[in-house]
Amino acid sequence: MQFKKYLFNPKTRDRENLPKLAPEALECDEVEVRHQAGVLRLLKGEPLTVARDHGGSTILAWTDGRKDLVLVEKSQLGEVLSWE
């Protein structure tokens, strides 16, 4: 299965802080409070790989350098990256 990779593009500095989630959130139909494992600050331009998209306004994504799972609004995704 091939996943899409994007650059993180927050609209404001306030949106650089994303909910960090426990990996078991991937196996559930809905993200719950018990899945949250803190907050992670990402900077503009950091690569994210889509882990799960339910078709709503948010996705679950892996950070590339840290391999953390975060909850991201689709409006904060920027340019699509190639896998090469």
Identify the CATH number of the domain in which residue 32 sits.
2.30.30
> What's the rounded mean pLDDT across residues 20-45?
92
Q: Is the pLDDT of residue 84 over 70?
A: no
Containing structural domain, residue 40: 5-81
Q: What is the pLDDT of residue 2?
A: 58
What are the tens digits of pLDDT across the range 13-29? 989 999 999 999 999 88
pLDDT tens string 43-80: 999 999 999 987 889 999 999 877 899 999 999 999 88
Q: State how many domains the chain has.
A: 1
Please tell me the predicted confidence (pLDDT) of residue 1: 43
DSSP states of the chain as a string? ----EEEE--SSGGGGEEEEE-GGGGGSSS--GGGEEEEEE--TT-EEEEEEE-SSSEEEEEETTT--EEEEEGGGEEEEEP--
